[in-house]
C-alpha cells in the first residue's frame, strides 16, 4: 500500500518546543524524509493528525504558514490523552504526522481585500498561518491591510508573543489590538473581553474578510458585535471543531448535517453555518 495509504502517518521529529502559555506548547516538526518535507503543501486553515505511538492520534490545526518550507508548527493545549503525551515529549522525539486535511480560508478570494483577524486564546493558532501567509514578502502585495484583535484571559495566556508584540506591529499596514480579560499589575494594555473590544475598535466592513477563532461564547458575541458594525454573514469565517478519527471522510464522526468537517471544513462562513444543524 505504501504511499497510497492515507491512514499511515509519516515519521517526523520534534525539533523544537516553544512554551507559549502555561498549557500551550508549539511543536516544531520536521519530516525524517526530506522528500516528504519538500512534498508537504498545506493551505491556511487546514488540519493534520499528530501521532504519539502507543497513546493515539489527534487532530490539530497547522499554525505555521504554508510559506515556511523547512518545518511545520502545531500549537497544542494540554487537555486530553494525546495532548498530554505530546506535552511530555522532548525535542528529538519521534512522532507521526499525516495530512493536510480539509478546506482552507478563502485566501484566493481574499486577494486585494483587507483582513480582520479576531482571536481568543489558542484560537489564534489556526489564524496565524493566514496572517503569516499574507505577510510573507512574496504575497504581501496581493493583500490589503491586516487588522488583528486578540485577547486572552491573562497576559500569560497570550500565544505567539514575539509576533504579537514585535513582528506584526512593526510590519507596514498591520494593526494589532491586544486585550486581556482581567487587569494585571504589569499589563499596560487594554483590559476587557474581545467582543467589547471589537465594538471599541470599530473595524469597518468595506472590502474586508473576517476570520474568527476562539471559545464558542467569544465567537457568539463577537459575531453580534460585527453584525452591529455592518458586517455580512458571508464576510465572516470561522473554523469548526469536531472529534475526528480519519480526516478523510470515512469514519463518519465529524459530521454536522451532511457535511464532514474534515472534508468540507473546518472553515465555514456564517452563511454556511446558519444552514447547518446546530450540532457542533
Partner 1 sequence: MKEITEMLQQVAARLFNEGLEMFIGYESGSVPAKARPYFAAVQGETAALVFNPFCEHNLAKYLVRFPNAKTAVVVKGCDAGAVERLVKERNLDRTRITVIGVPCGGMLARERVLAELPQDGKITAITDRRDAFVFQTSKGEHVLEKKAFLLAKCLICTQNNPTGVDLMLGKEAPPVGETGKDPYARVKEISALDPPARAAFWDRLMDRCLRCYACREVCPACSCTECCFEQAVPGWQQGAIWLSKAVTLPDNLHYHVIRAFHVAGRCTGCGECERVCPVRIPLMLLNRKLAGDIDELYGPTPPDVPSVLCTYATGDRDEFT
Partner 2 sequence: MDSKIIKKDKLLSLLERFIAGYHVLAPVREDGMLVYRPVGIPGDVELNPGRSVLPPKGRFFPQTEILYSYRIEGEKLTLEEYVEEARQVILFGVHPCDLRSFAVLDAVFTEEPRDAYFTARRNNTIIVGVSCSSVLPECFCTAFGISPVEGNGADIHLTDIGAGAYLVEVLTPRGKELLQKFDSLFEDNVAGAEEAKRAKEASLIKKISLSVKVNDLHEKMASIFENPYWEKISRRCLGCGVCTYVCPTCHCFDIMDDGAGKAGERFRCWDSCLFREYTLHTSGHNPRHALAQRLRNRFFHKLSYNNQRYNIEGCVGCGRCVALCPVNIDIREVIGAVRGLV
Q: Which residues bind partner 1 (CB under 8 A)?
A: 79-81, 84
Give 235 or 239: the residue with its C-beta nearer to partner 2.
239
d(CA 76, CA 65) in angstroms, rounded, equals: 16
Give the one entry of partner 1, partner 2, none that residue 84 binds, where binding means its C-beta sits below a cut-off of 5 to 8 angstroms depending on kind: partner 1
Q: Is 9 in the site for partner 2 (CB under 8 A)?
A: yes
Q: Residue 5 interacts with partner 2 (CB under 8 A)?
A: yes
Strand runs labelled E in 153-257: 174-180, 190-191, 208-213, 236-239, 255-256
Which CB, 79 or 217, lies closer to partner 1?
Answer: 79
Of 84 and 204, which CB lies nearer to partner 1 in the complex structure? 84
Contact present, 169 and 130 (Cβ < 8 Å): no
Question: Which cell numbers in the block locate residue 278?
Answer: 446546530
Is residue 39 within the footprint of partner 2 (CB under 8 A)? Answer: no
Minimum CB distance to partner 2, residue 279 (Å)? 5
- Phi/psi-derived region of residue 206, left when phi > 0, alpha when psi is between -120 and 50, beta in every other case: beta
Choose the contact partner of 242 out of partner 1, partner 2, none; CB within 5 to 8 A by kind: partner 2
Q: CA separation (Å) from 242 to 153, 193, 265?
A: 24, 25, 10
Minimum CB separation of residue 91 from partner 2 in Å reads 13
The DSSP letter of residue 23 is S
Measured distance CA(184)–CA(126) in Å, rounded: 27
**Smallest gap from residue 217 Cβ to partner 2 (A):** 11
- Among 34, 137, 172, 252, interactor with partner 2 by CB under 8 A: 252
User: Which spans in 144-275 are helix H?
Assistant: 161-162, 194-201, 216-228, 261-264, 270-275
Binding site for partner 2 (CB under 8 A): 1-2, 4-9, 11, 51, 53-57, 79-80, 83, 92, 94, 96, 216, 241-243, 245-246, 248-253, 255-258, 260, 277, 279-280
Amino acid at each position: 500500500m505504501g504511499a497510497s495509504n492515507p491512514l499511515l502517518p509519516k515519521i517526523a521529529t520534534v525539533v523544537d518546543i516553544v512554551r507559549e502559555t502555561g498549557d500551550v506548547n508549539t511543536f516544531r516538526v520536521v519530516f525524517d524524509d526530506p522528500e516528504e518535507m519538500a512534498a508537504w503543501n498545506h493551505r491556511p486553515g487546514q488540519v493534520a493528525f499528530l501521532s504519539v505511538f502507543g497513546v493515539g492520534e489527534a487532530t490539530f490545526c497547522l499554525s505555521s504558514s504554508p510559506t515556511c518550507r523547512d518545518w511545520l508548527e502545531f500549537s497544542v493545549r494540554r487537555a486530553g490523552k494525546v495532548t498530554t503525551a505530546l506535552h511530555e515529549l522532548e525535542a528529538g522525539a519521534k512522532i507521526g504526522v499525516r495530512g493536510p486535511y480539509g478546506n482552507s480560508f478563502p485566501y484566493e478570494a481574499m486577494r486585494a481585500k483587507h483582513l480582520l483577524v479576531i482571536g481568543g486564546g489558542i484560537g489564534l493558532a489556526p489564524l496565524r498561518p493566514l496572517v503569516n501567509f499574507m505577510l510573507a514578502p512574496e504575497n504581501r502585495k496581493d493583500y490589503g491591510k491586516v487588522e488583528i484583535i486578540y485577547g486572552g484571559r491573562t497576559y500569560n495566556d497570550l500565544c505567539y508573543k514575539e509576533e504579537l508584540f514585535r513582528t506584526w506591529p512593526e510590519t507596514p499596514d498591520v494593526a494589532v489590538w491586544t486585550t486581556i480579560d482581567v487587569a494585571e499589575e504589569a499589563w499596560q494594555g487594554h483590559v476587557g473581553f474581545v467582543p467589547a473590544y471589537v465594538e471599541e475598535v470599530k473595524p469597518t466592513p468595506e472590502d474586508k474578510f473576517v476570520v474568527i477563532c476562539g471559545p464558542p461564547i467569544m465567537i457568539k458575541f463577537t459575531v453580534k458585535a460585527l453584525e452591529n458594525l455592518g458586517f455580512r454573514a458571508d464576510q465572516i469565517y470561522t473554523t469548526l471543531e469536531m472529534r475526528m478519527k480519519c480526516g478523510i471522510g470515512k469514519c463518519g464522526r465529524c459530521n454536522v448535517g451532511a457535511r464532514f468537517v474534515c472534508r468540507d471544513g473546518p472553515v465555514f462562513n456564517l452563511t454556511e453555518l446558519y444552514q447547518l444543524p446546530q450540532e457542533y
